[in-house]
Amino acid sequence: MKIVALKETFPGEKRVPLIPASVDKLVKSGAEIVVESGIGETCRFTDDDYKNAGASIESDRQALISSADMVLRLLKPPIEEIDLMKKGAYHVSYLDPFNEKELVEKFASAGVEAVSLEMIPRSTIAQKMDVLSSQANLGGYVAVILAAEKQDLIFPMMTTPSGTIKPARVFIIGVGVAGLQAIATAKRLGARVEAFDTRPVVEEQVKSLGAKFVKIDLGETGQTKDGYAKALTPEQIKLQQAGMAKACAMADVVITTAQLFGRPAPRIVTAEMVRQMRPGSVIVDMAIESGGNVEGAELNKTVDVGGVLIIGMGNLPGHVAIPASQMYSANLANFIGHFWDKESKTFNPKFEDEIMKGCLITHNGRIYSETYKSIVK
């Protein structure tokens, strides 16, 4: 089975889908791996590193795509590259399917089996292939580092002969994978950390990291069967904003990570809440790519609102491309390995498997994912 990994073409993207350590693993299980020449250069891997791990190198991208039984890449493909693929071949990458109707329909009409890695269920068995978690975790780390860099304060308390410096106050809104890592990173740097999430189960996790959970009574909230937050009513959002205003006003750094599966991110920090913050404070809006949690945040910009800086940097995991690629590549290899048939040495999934049912968007020339069909009409 020929598995092809392509160089990423999205401007500014430094992460690579497959690193030599994963090539080695896949080759040892019997796969033929061919990578596009130069695939690893943004992460300091040479073509020789890939050759030594057992891959062949090819520079003709079109030939690579059209000969593949499976194409691996990081981000969704340019639509014109789908027609180059063999019917029945697999395409495995991030797809952003709910925002890519045309692309999904193209995959179906081309008879390509398209896997959307962000749709892999958040189950224990699928944790090893969960790109949302592996990348969000690094994103949470980067958010804190960016905020610290823009601050003119320091995070830790320091008691010195010259006097005592107070610790910075950090408030994290949304405590999923990114939020937990942001709490852990801010704590490691010595900040005083508070956090809030609409899912009450999170309180224990926040406390176990040594942070304080901000309690706001919103009435019934909860989570879906997959662990995602349920959307709040407009009245609940207002209650939340009122409850959080004080924590925001007191904070030197606010990091927002609130997301809703398959929907735009909730708008929870209003312009009025930003106005109440001290000049010099920093907000990082980690949900900016799905619409943003903070009024006034702009994608890939740092906006100054009365001295409060709102950082709307996209692709935070891309700032630490080497560990992000290491994690993504391991997730890919684990995904392939999970469905690998050792005898025929092929990727041979059962289509009724819960993981495949979750992440396979197109199958046999049709749209297959029930979740996709329920959200995109």
Rounded Cα distance between 307 and 297, Å, is: 14
Q: Verify binding: residue 261, ligand NAD, rule CB under 6 A.
A: yes
Within a 10 A sphere around the Cβ of 154, how many other Cβ atoms? 16
Within a 10 A sphere around the Cβ of 351, how many other Cβ atoms? 11
Which of 65, 85, 173, 206 lies at the binding interface for ligand NAD (CB under 6 A)? 173
Which of 70, 95, 112, 132 lies at the binding interface for ligand NAD (CB under 6 A)? 132
Residue 112 vs 260, nearer CB to ligand NAD: 260
Where b means 16+ CB within 10 Å and e means fewer, 128-152 reads: ebbbbbbbbbbbbbbbbbbbbebbe
**Which structure tokens are listed for 31?**
């796969």
Q: Verify binding: residue 139, ligand NAD, rule CB under 6 A.
A: no
User: Which range, of 28-36, 158-166, 255-263, 309-317, touches ligand NAD by CB under 6 A?
Assistant: 255-263
Active site residue 133: yes
Per-residue mark of binding to ligand NAD, 304-343 (x: CB under 6 A):
----------------------------------------
User: Which range, of 44-52, 122-130, 306-314, 362-370, touches ligand NAD by CB under 6 A?
Assistant: 122-130
Q: Which residues pair with 35 in a beta bridge?
A: 5, 57
Residue 268 vs 336, nearer CB to ligand NAD: 268
Q: Output the smallest distance, CB 290 to ligand NAD, in A.
A: 9
The type of residue at 125 is I
Q: 12: exposed, middle or buried (C-beta count within 10 Å: 0-12, 13-18, 19+)?
A: exposed
Report the residue closest to ligand NAD, judged by CB.
176
Active site residue 135: no
Measured CA angle at 50 (ends 49, 51), to 5 deg = 90
Q: Verify binding: residue 134, ligand NAD, rule CB under 6 A.
A: no
Active site residue 29: no
Q: Output the smallest distance, CB 224 to ligand NAD, in A.
A: 9
Active site residue 130: yes
Rounded Cα distance between 195 and 212, Å, is: 6
Which of 2, 122, 187, 338 lies at the binding interface for ligand NAD (CB under 6 A)? 122
**Helix or strand holding residue 92 (H, E):** strand 90-93
Q: Verify binding: residue 268, ligand NAD, rule CB under 6 A.
A: yes
Q: Verify binding: residue 359, ligand NAD, rule CB under 6 A.
A: no
Q: 78: exposed, middle or buried (C-beta count within 10 Å: 0-12, 13-18, 19+)?
A: exposed
**Helix or strand holding residue 143 (H, E):** helix 131-150
Which of 20, 174, 292, 318 lies at the binding interface for ligand NAD (CB under 6 A)? 174
Rounded Cα distance between 316 and 69, Å, is: 31
User: Which range, of 11-19, 62-70, 172-180, 358-366, touches ligand NAD by CB under 6 A?
Assistant: 172-180
Nearest Cα neighbor of 201 from 228, 181, 178 is: 228
Q: Output the smallest distance, CB 106 to ligand NAD, in A.
A: 27
Size of the site for ligand NAD (CB under 6 A): 32
In angstroms, the Cα distances linking 22 to 72, 124, 148, 161, 328 are 12, 22, 34, 52, 10
Q: Verify binding: residue 266, ligand NAD, rule CB under 6 A.
A: yes
Residue 20 vs 121, nearer CB to ligand NAD: 121
Active site residue 56: no
Name every residue whose Cβ is closer than 8 Å to that of residue 274 and which is 6 or more positions away in sequence: 248, 283, 294, 295, 296, 305, 306, 308, 310
Which of 62, 124, 162, 374 lies at the binding interface for ligand NAD (CB under 6 A)? 124
Contact positions with ligand NAD (CB under 6 A) in 190-229: 196-199, 223, 227-229
Residues lying near ligand NAD in the complex (CB under 6 A) are found at 122-124, 127, 130, 132-133, 136, 173-179, 196-199, 223, 227-229, 232, 240, 257-261, 266, 268
Active site residues: 122, 127, 130, 133, 228
